[in-house]
Amino acid sequence: MHELIDKYLDYINKTKNLSMNTTDAYKRDIYKFEQFLELDNRDFFSADVTTVTKFIQHLSKMGKKDASIARNVICIRNFYKFLIKYGYIDKSDIVSYEIPKFKRKSPEILTIDEVNKLLAVPDTTTFKGIRDKAMLEMMYATGLKITELLSIEIDDINFDFNYVKVKESNNFERIIPIGSYCVEWLKKYIEMRKEINDNKTLFLNVRGSSISRQGFWKILKHYAEQAHIDKDINLYTLRHSIAVHLIQNGADIQSLKELMGYKELSAIQIYMDIIKKNRLMEVYKNTHPRA
């Protein structure tokens, strides 16, 4: 079965314009499914929709998140489409297996006050503090995905018109404006950075290499603790927070979609739901006599 997996991975690498993180996730998902099949005394040829359902239940018992399970299902379906397309099997109902209906969990959102507290924590008397300040300011100013933030190069920043150019995985680019706070700290960071390293990547770790997702997560978690923010913060918290704050301040949905790099307007709905829920809670607290 390993040979089929290798052929599939080679196929998606050549034909699908996926990011490295997505490709790695697909690789983990398909190997995870293979391991489950071995435990169930099956292989790719004997698996059916019942097998996939059992696999989903297995993942759920392991504590896997709904989004992770949904991605597993998509990966398995695409794998079986590949097997049919290239004649490894004749047909399979797995290709039309529906993704389970999960209850969407609203992401944790920071208030503007909490964001200000977080951004005020870095020690800007040190190079690391200035770097971290610039990095967090940019994350909040732009709402970039973490992979986009960490792959930005110095030449992607335009200080004449105050914007950053973001390269997307499909070879498209989008232009995102950056505010005055972000510009101020980026300039300070880049000026100090010139004396240390000529690496094109904007944000570097102490060894002069690109910062990893895990490295950024440790930085963010540290500052959140220092700011005494008692919320479940993750790599996307600032991205989600700026989206909600922009809508609350009058940003139109289409502009927000383009700014955030979403493909469908439906992706913005979760932010609208958060705002509606917050408004309802606010009305209740302000009007209910025993709130």
247 plus 174 within the same structural domain = yes
54 plus 130 within the same structural domain = no
Q: How many residues does the chain have?
A: 291
Main-chain phi, psi angles of 157, to 5 degrees: -90, 130
141 plus 266 within the same structural domain = yes
Q: Give the domain-ending residue among 96, 128, 144.
A: 96
Residue 167 lies in a domain: yes
CA distance 125 to 6: 50
Residue 290 lies in a domain: no
Kindly give the confidence (pLDDT) of every residue in the chain, 291 residues in length, as a single tens digit, with 9 standing for 90 and above: 678 888 888 888 888 767 777 788 888 999 999 999 998 888 899 999 999 999 999 998 888 888 788 889 989 999 999 999 999 999 899 998 887 775 566 778 999 999 999 999 999 999 999 999 999 999 999 999 998 999 999 999 999 999 999 987 666 788 999 999 999 999 999 998 877 667 889 999 888 888 999 999 999 999 999 999 999 888 889 999 999 999 888 888 888 888 888 877 777 878 877 777 777 667 656 765 655
174 plus 214 within the same structural domain = yes
91 plus 120 within the same structural domain = no
Residue 104 lies in a domain: no
47 plus 169 within the same structural domain = no
According to the model, what pLDDT value does residue 1 have?
66
Residue 106 lies in a domain: no
Q: How far apart are the first and last CA of the chain?
A: 60
167 plus 281 within the same structural domain = yes
Residue 102 lies in a domain: no
What is the residue-wise DSSP string for the chain?
Answer: -HHHHHHHHHHHHHH----HHHHHHHHHHHHHHHHHHHHTT--TTT--HHHHHHHHHHHHHTT--HHHHHHHHHHHHHHHHHHHHTTSSS--GGGGPPPP-PPPPPPP---HHHHHHHHT-S-TTSHHHHHHHHHHHHHHHH---HHHHHH-BGGGEETTTTEEEEE-TTS-EEEEE--HHHHHHHHHHHHHHTTT---SBSSB-TTSSBPPHHHHHHHHHHHHHHTT--S---TTHHHHHHHHHHHHTT--HHHHHHHHT-SSGGGGHHHHHHHHHHHHHHHHHHH-TT-
CA distance 250 to 189: 31
CA distance 242 to 144: 10
According to the model, what pLDDT value does residue 116 have?
95
129 plus 90 within the same structural domain = no
Q: Is the dihedral of CA 97, 56, 74, 12 positive or negative?
A: negative
Domain range holding 146? 112-285
253 plus 196 within the same structural domain = yes
118 plus 74 within the same structural domain = no
Q: Is the dihedral of CA 159, 160, 162, 164 positive or negative?
A: negative
40 plus 122 within the same structural domain = no
160 plus 135 within the same structural domain = yes
Residue 33 lies in a domain: yes
Q: Which of 149, 125, 139 is nearest to 224 (CA)?
A: 139
Number of domains in the chain: 2
Q: What is the pTM of this model?
A: 0.65
Residue 226 lies in a domain: yes
Q: Give the domain-ending residue among 96, 122, 145.
A: 96
Residue 107 lies in a domain: no
Sort 242 into a burial class: Cβ within 10 Å, 0-12 / 13-18 / 19+: buried
User: What CATH number does residue 73 fall under?
Assistant: 1.10.150.130
